[in-house]
Structure 1
Amino acid sequence: MVDKVYEKYGAIDVLVNNAGYGLFGAAEELTDQEAAKIIATNLTGSIQMIRAVTPFMREQQAGRIIQISSYGGQVAFAGNSMYHATKWGIEGFCESVAQELAPFNIGVTIVEPGDARTEFHYGSAQVAELMPEYDNNPAYAFLTMLDPVNGLAAGDPERMATKIIESAAIEPAPLRMVLGSQALDSTIQTLEKRVADFKKQTELAASTDF
């Protein structure tokens, strides 16, 4: 498909990797097939698309790769283990590739949206076969989130899409773009706690040096 697009238009200006879905349930509840499918969709598919467009963008010395991730690529919640595995994975891949492609004038942006009124919550979400052993467990907090009776998500998908499109013209390309105030607040709180935890390990880290 990438070959056909390049043959038709003579250039590939922007790649947007947007394929993805949520898979909810405790890690133990997920089948091998469910785990493999979400990895193929959310992680491997995006990796292969980026690898496919890279030769064309490198040759033309220009291009922009926009990878849709999630604030779940920085923050983790119980009951979302495989989803987080794919998002944390694609973020690490993209952060590395961004450094490789910068000399060719190819920008990479990781988009980290918060909750939005899309089919992610209210249509495409897949739920494992739940086990009674996990009743009243943090793993099942997602059930409240997926129920529209408890209120719709705050994020406006049209406004988010507009900001994503506008980002393609920003120079230099922003490595990350968080969409949604709740997502930003949660991400900052999580990262601040992570940094604080790391700083407590100064003595431990040094104790393993020669």
Structure 2
Amino acid sequence: MAQRTWLITGVNSGFGRHMTEQLLARGDRVAGTVRQMEAMNDLKQKYGDQLWLSHLDMTDTSEIQQVVDQAFAQLGRIDVLVSNAGYGLFGAAEELSDEQIIHQLNTNLVGPIMLIRAALPHLRAQGGGRILGLSTFGGQATLPGGSLYHASKWGLEGFLDSIGLELAPFNIGVTIIEPGGARTNFRGGSVKLGKQMDAYKGTPAAFVYVMIKDTSRPAPGDPEKVSAKIIASVDQEPAPKRIVMGSDAYTIIQKALSDRLASIEAQKDEAGSTNFPVSA
């Protein structure tokens, strides 16, 4: 297996950390971005120059461009770009502050878009590469209490779907990763909640507060296996458009798409009623 160089955002925890550990152990190079550099001291000490690190705040678009340019300049080539950094903001839309909404969209949607755009000239110049975008089952299905998180992931998936078509002529493959719940620190560390309003207590939107705080029902996904499958996807040719991981993700996405298709098909005979007459 040829050694590769990977640029992964958010390597200090979750899937980013698991991927980094697996890649370094097999001899690949990783350019990792973090918010807190000290979180990577153990891996840096163990792997030295095999691990390139930089601070990156995904809401700082100028820093994104600078970090991407530095990574390509110092490492020479990056084979795989993994847009992984992000977090979940939950609560009914009315319960969220303007600042929370803007930060969620900047981190989960605008930041990844700018990251990928910054890398594209380099990937085209080197003759190709692979882009992996970390989404979730929530990029194709929705639950109450997750409107802004879903907005960020649906937007990301639309962007990745479209650029996949744009980049195919340049030998740049794009894959959307859609995991279900996994036993990372997502719920315990990176999740942010709105300020719960009395009006929403007892409604479907309120369940998200219970779901996030209830640790008695562990997520089914094994982050080591998810990370290994993400890594293995880079060897698939052509690049898979989407990879669903976890029985929960499959069940939720399959139902959402089936319900959506049934709703659309029911309108088949009426859809054309808004056209101009054929002779016009």
TM-score, structure 2 normalization: 0.73
Structure 2 equivalent of residue 194 of structure 1: 260
1:88 maps onto 2:154 in alignment: yes
> How many residues of Structure 1 are paired with residues of Structure 2 in the alignment?
210
Q: Which aligned pairs between 1:81-160 and structure 2 lie closer than 5 A? A: 81-160=147-226
Structure 2 equivalent of residue 183 of structure 1: 249
Cα shift readout 1:28-77 (whole Å, capped 9, x = no counterpart): 11110000000010000100010011011111121000000001000000
CA contact (8 A) 1:122 1:148 kept: no
The range that moved more, 79-88 or 179-188, is 179-188
1:62 maps onto 2:131 in alignment: no
Q: Which aligned pairs between 1:22-61 and structure 2 lie closer than 5 A? A: 22-61=88-127
CA contact (8 A) 2:78 2:129 kept: yes
Structure 1 equivalent of residue 271 of structure 2: 205
Q: Which has the larger radius of gyration?
A: 2
Q: Secondary structure at the match of 1:16?
A: strand
1:174 maps onto 2:233 in alignment: no
CA contact (8 A) 2:86 2:108 kept: yes
Q: Which amino acid aligns with 2:230?
A: I
CA distance in 1, matches of 2:215, 2:110: 34
The range that moved more, 44-53 or 143-152, is 143-152
Q: Which amino acid aligns with 2:123?
A: M
Q: Which amino acid aligns with 1:48?
A: M
TM-score, structure 1 normalization: 0.97
CA distance in 1, matches of 2:233, 2:251: 21
For CA contacts below 8 A with separation 6 or more, give which structure has more relative contact order: 1
Cα shift readout 1:97-145 (whole Å, capped 9, x = no counterpart): 0000001100000000101111211221111011011110100111232
CA contact (8 A) 1:17 1:67 kept: yes
CA distance in 1, matches of 2:251, 2:214: 23
CA distance in 2, matches of 1:191, 1:6: 39
CA distance in 2, matches of 1:57, 1:149: 42
In structure 2, runs of 5+ residues without a counterpart are 1-66
Q: Secondary structure at the match of 2:190?
A: coil
CA distance in 2, matches of 1:48, 1:134: 35
Q: Which amino acid aligns with 1:177?
A: I
| Among candidates 84, 87, 108, match of residue 21 of structure 1 | 87
CA contact (8 A) 1:117 1:156 kept: yes
Runs of 4+ deviating beyond 4 Å: none
CA distance in 1, matches of 2:202, 2:184: 27
CA RMSD of aligned residues (A): 0.9
Structure 2 equivalent of residue 6 of structure 1: 72
CA distance in 2, matches of 1:204, 1:35: 37
